[in-house]
Amino acid sequence: MTTLPFFPPDLFDHDRDLLLETVRRIGTDPAQRFILGERTAAFEAALREHTGAADVIACGSGTGALMLVLRAMDIGPGDEVVVPALGCAPLAASVVNVGATPVFADVHPWTMVVEPYEVETAITEQTAAIMPAHMFSVMADMPTLSALAERHGVRLVEDSAVAQGGVLGGLPAGRWGDAGVYSFVQVKTFGTIGEGGAVVTDDAALGQLVRMLRNHGQDGRTRFVHHAIGYNSRFDEIIADYQLHRLSGLAERLERRARIAEYYTERFADLADRGIQAPPPGRDGRCYYVYCLLAERREDLRRHLAHRGVGTHVYYPTPLPAQPAFAQYARSRRFWPHAELAGARMLALPIYPHLTDAQVEHIADSVCAF
């Protein structure tokens, strides 16, 4: 039986010759500039045009981008940042790593993005920022969260690591807050051959400070003059060159993901009363980095799909406040029931753009057969 892996090993196979030529060309360039060179600058300019943002700063990873933004906002000891209770560890770790305290807010039981009213409940006098994250197929309710941040006078950091290419109400993911971040790790919507990320902002002063912090506090004009304690979160020239090549095809790949997701959702529409819930339909505020079902009998469904050659993946089975690393930040007498329920039910299906129609149909048939 042909197996359809959840993480495909051939994402970049068609670019093999291009990649080898890119490595040779940059490796033998007389300038011998392998980080933060002209290709990185060109990539940042292309992303500025693509997103409409005033500034884009490429950095070492999406995780690094979050920490750079928080540092640039002067968030640290004594400050609190409200984050979703369900999500990737960097949501909380980036806050802890700048000396601040993460405060966890529960998520919506269907969309699995943070609930605005839970965020508002978590805000205190010590809150410096709120940091919603887009999840799987759905962007967070950024209009409500933007209004909430303005009302309470706190910063809004938009974790768009999984959502590049998503658009909500005509505004791209990453553009809703004081700053947003992207991740270019392999399986993301604009994934690449290694690590990488970017900060997106319309705040020129914030962008300038992030640019300085990513390179050990240097401003780029005078080497070995350090204006701040910074980090090594610099961007690779090979990856910059490759991502410039791939940017022109991003819209087509996103469209393919959306068409696959629409087909899945249509096929699964009648399964809700049988214990399988598809994501909400529609395209506004959708990103389709991952297509995640909520299944009451998740492990049974996963075994069934494996038997039929369909790879799946379980994301975030344990909410962040229940993780050993973050348990000390979980406030007493606070609960995150929707995050816990989602962690017990989530099952992600393959949705990468080069799945054929026949493969997509087989995946949907297999779920319906269960």
Last residue of a domain, one of 208, 225, 247: 247
For 310-336, b where at least 16 C-beta lie within 10 A, e where not — what string? bbbbbbbeebbbbeeebeebbeeeeeb
pLDDT of residue 68: 98
Residues 164 and 236 in one domain: yes
Last residue of a domain, one of 247, 279, 302: 247
Assigned domain for 364 exists: yes
pLDDT of residue 106: 97
Assigned domain for 7 exists: no
Assigned domain for 308 exists: yes
Task: Give the chain's radius of gyration (CA, Å).
Answer: 21
Residues 217 and 195 in one domain: yes
Residues 281 and 228 in one domain: no
Assigned domain for 271 exists: yes
Residues 134 and 259 in one domain: no
Residues 299 and 176 in one domain: no
CA 83 – CA 103 distance, rounded (Å): 6
Residues 212 and 261 in one domain: no
Going by C-alpha positions, the residue among 153, 160, 234 that lies closest to residue 195 is 234
Those residues with Cβ within 8 angstroms of residue 56's Cβ, 6 or more apart along the chain or in another chain: 44, 45, 47, 48, 198, 199, 200
The domain of 254 spans 250-369
Last residue of a domain, one of 217, 247, 277: 247
Residues 263 and 215 in one domain: no
Assigned domain for 2 exists: no
Domain count of the fold of the chain: 2
Assigned domain for 1 exists: no
CA 184 – CA 140 distance, rounded (Å): 20
CATH number assigned to the domain comprising residue 318: 3.90.1150.10
Residues 27 and 62 in one domain: yes
Assigned domain for 3 exists: no
CATH number assigned to the domain comprising residue 68: 3.40.640.10
284: helix, strand or coil: coil
Residues 133 and 231 in one domain: yes
Residues 322 and 345 in one domain: yes
pLDDT of residue 128: 98
Per-residue pLDDT of the chain in tens (370 residues, 90 and over written 9): 558 999 998 889 999 999 999 999 999 999 889 999 999 999 999 999 999 999 999 999 999 999 999 999 999 999 999 999 999 999 999 999 999 999 999 999 999 999 999 999 999 999 999 999 999 889 999 999 999 999 999 999 999 999 999 999 999 999 999 999 999 998 899 999 999 999 999 999 999 999 999 999 898 788 888 999 999 999 999 999 999 999 999 999 999 999 999 999 999 999 999 999 999 999 999 988 999 999 999 999 999 999 999 999 999 999 999 999 999 999 887 889 999 999 999 999 999 999 999 999 999 999 999 9
Residues catalogued as catalytic: 188
Going by C-alpha positions, the residue among 97, 138, 132 that lies closest to residue 118 is 132
Residues 168 and 237 in one domain: yes
Residues 46 and 134 in one domain: yes
pLDDT of residue 2: 59
Assigned domain for 294 exists: yes
